[in-house]
Structure 1
């Protein structure tokens, strides 16, 4: 089901920034064709209204899918990729994503959302209405953030050639942390307040990230796959940084100080992650202060340095060789990791 939006701008409101026409596609085992059309039309209206707040000029379209995982996997991204899109699973279940796509050589963003979480938009008295509204706002924020990055530092997203697995791992963490910090910062105040949920998620991962990384190192002693264990450990610590970025951006967006979150402040005090958390806070704040005016990628690399340091403390030492290669050293068992 596809709905085209072409509404006019009211004179007493900020102008819309979405393309004059953009497709809203509803797919999967939806209740009925009429309800699918109704939901698609409403999502188009909500996105158009949010485009008065966020710059959605680079929006490719929106897919609302009951078959969310399949919709992600089948999204035409405009290029061949060996890394299909998949929803987050485990302690955090992904319900929406705004991947970058290439259209006629131009970088754009396509919003994909699990339809189950947007049906409440049809009834503004529904208990999950505010949650659904926040999901859309958060994904619209991602569209703007990607557009700002591409305008300032073109040719990096989707088109960067990675020199090695460390370069790719660093880049993934850098982009994920900045994107989620900025998206939670910009979307704070629209719909529900997700502070409690972000805090609970971060505390959970502060308690499991090192164990997850250690288990990967233990498994490596049996399978001996150096690149495999490096990617797994980097992902474990990178995910912790990403969830911290969600939390930090949301706090900044709501104007909250850490002292106003006593439960989290007490949990963080003395934790091995404490120094990294504060380093990430400073790094993201610095990037945000230059929002859209970045001259190069240097300011973002600080996040990669934090991730590298976490992985090194976690037991994998990475050294660049003169021939351009990498030497990965795992000198001790996880039990001895400080």
Structure 2
């Protein structure tokens, strides 16, 4: 990664007069300080990331209330909520909103994650580095969301996908691309991201196929095709979703698998080596050609096909009947 020339920064793309709301604070002085710190950081990020379509930022101690307070600008969208699973609890979100007919991105952060910006010696440099990296990552989604809105019709806000198999696989393909691109964009301010994502990859990959096989075995008992499709697809593609973050950071840093040899051994042992390499080539090609994108091209088609291959490698396939109906088939593991 090239070092930043702090004396000759490009002009910031951060909108002038950006609205930063800090809510839920009893200490108004601290709220003001945090808002100023966030605004200053985002103004800096705008020299490296295209933040032209950034709508505003909300920071709240009650993250759920902060999400609920965001006006999405269009009726019929599901309410904003956090990621909340056994593995991950959301603390920041890039929310697409509509303003005067234009899709923009509004960022929401849990205040606890950003307080290190104003905590002085009470917290460590690593805490502040995490806060800066988190903000930069979400700012990266502003640029990528704008690219998708312009050039990827099926990824646009409110888009519907007619074909059942594409509707299943395309959203995952968008996530793979988004996180790869965002990790490349935010890398100058997220120095520790590769270690974090390598650890995540090592945690989710080894048992993925075994967990998928267990869901297929359970299918013989409940015979719920939609349930089994959801369960197996989630398990099988999670390693590819997780590695997308790492691949983006690796490419930003000019790193290779020799720098993450232990993770690579885990990937190969779990039967994901060729799929990860195919995904890496597809994502890197998208990045390298992004200034040539055309909305008439199916830009994410190679990534969708890799997801299809991943499901097939785990015994999961989708078939369209002559009457237009779709069926899922699960190959019982031996």
Shorter-chain TM-score bucket reads 0.7 to 0.9
Q: Match of 2:49? A: 54
SS at match of 1:118: helix
TM-score where L is the length of structure 2: 0.88
CA contact (8 A) 2:149 2:157 kept: no
The separation in 1 between residues aligned to 2:299 and 2:285, in whole angstroms, is 8
Q: Does 1:105 align with 2:95?
A: no
Q: Is 1:242 paired with 2:237?
A: no
Which residue of structure 2 lines up, in the alignment, with residue 75 of structure 1?
70
Q: Closer, same or farther in 2 for the Cα pair 1:219/1:39, shift >3 Å? A: farther
Question: Is 1:27 paired with 2:23?
Answer: yes
Change in 2 beyond 3 A, CA 1:124/1:283: farther
The whole-number CA distance in structure 2 between the counterparts of 1:88 and 1:313 is 28
Superposed CA offset, 1:185-237 (max 9, x none):
11112143222111010111112322332343344334332122212322223
SS of 2:207 mapped into structure 1 = helix
- Secondary structure of residue in 2 paired with 1:207: coil
Contact 1:152 1:293 survives alignment (8 Å): no
1:301 maps to what in 2?
A: 301
Query: Aligned-residue CA RMSD in angstroms?
Result: 2.3
| 1:174 maps onto 2:173 in alignment | yes
Partner of 2:135: 136
User: Partner residue of 1:6?
Assistant: none
Tell me the equivalent position of 2:92: 96
Task: Note closer, same or farther for the CA distance 1:65–1:159 as it changes in structure 2 (3 Å cut).
Answer: same
Do the aligned residues in 1 keep the contact of 2:316 with 2:331 (CA within 8 Å)? yes
Residues 94-124 of structure 1 show CA distances to partners (whole Å, capped at 9, x for unaligned) of 3222122222321111111121111111146
2:205 match: secondary structure = helix
Closer/same/farther in 2, CA of residues 238 and 110 from structure 1, 3 Å limit: farther
SS of 1:158 mapped into structure 2: coil
Q: Counterparts of 1:309 and 1:155 in 2: how far apart (Å)?
A: 21
Say whether 1:263 aligns with 2:262: yes
Say whether the 8 Å CA contact 2:201–2:263 is kept in structure 1.
no
Equivalent-residue separation in structure 2 for 1:234 and 1:159 (angstroms): 23
Query: Which secondary structure does the structure 1 equivalent of 2:287 belong to?
Result: helix
Question: Which residue is 1:7 aligned to?
Answer: none
CA contact under 8 A between 1:25 and 1:63: conserved in structure 2?
A: yes
Q: Which residue of 1 aligns with 2:274?
A: 275
Q: Does structure 2 retain, via aligned residues, the 8 Å contact 1:152–1:292? A: no
Paired residue for 2:313? 313
Question: Relative to structure 1, is the Cα distance of residues 242 and 48 closer, same or farther in structure 2, using a 3 angstrom cutoff?
Answer: same
SS state of the match for residue 317, structure 1? Answer: strand
- CA distance in structure 2 between the aligned counterparts of 1:330 and 1:100, rounded to whole angstroms: 36
* TM value normalised by structure 1: 0.87
Aligned residues: 323
CA contact (8 A) 2:45 2:136 kept: yes
More divergent stretch after superposition (19-28 vs 57-66): 19-28
String of CA shifts for 1:148-192, please: whole Å, max 9, x gaps: 232334574113212254322212111100000001111112143
**SS state of the match for residue 103, structure 2?**
strand
- Other structure's SS at 2:67 match: helix
Unmatched tracts of structure 2, length 5 or more: 1-6
Report Cα offsets for 1:264-313 as digits up to 9, x if no partner.
23323343111111111111011111124212442311111111121122
Q: Whole-Å Cα distance in 1 between the matches of residues 69 and 208 of structure 2?
A: 31
Q: CA deviation digits over 1:38-65, x for unaligned, max 9?
A: 2122211211121121110100111112
Q: What residue is the counterpart of 1:121 in the other structure?
A: 117
Q: Distance in 2 between matches of 1:84 and 1:158?
A: 14
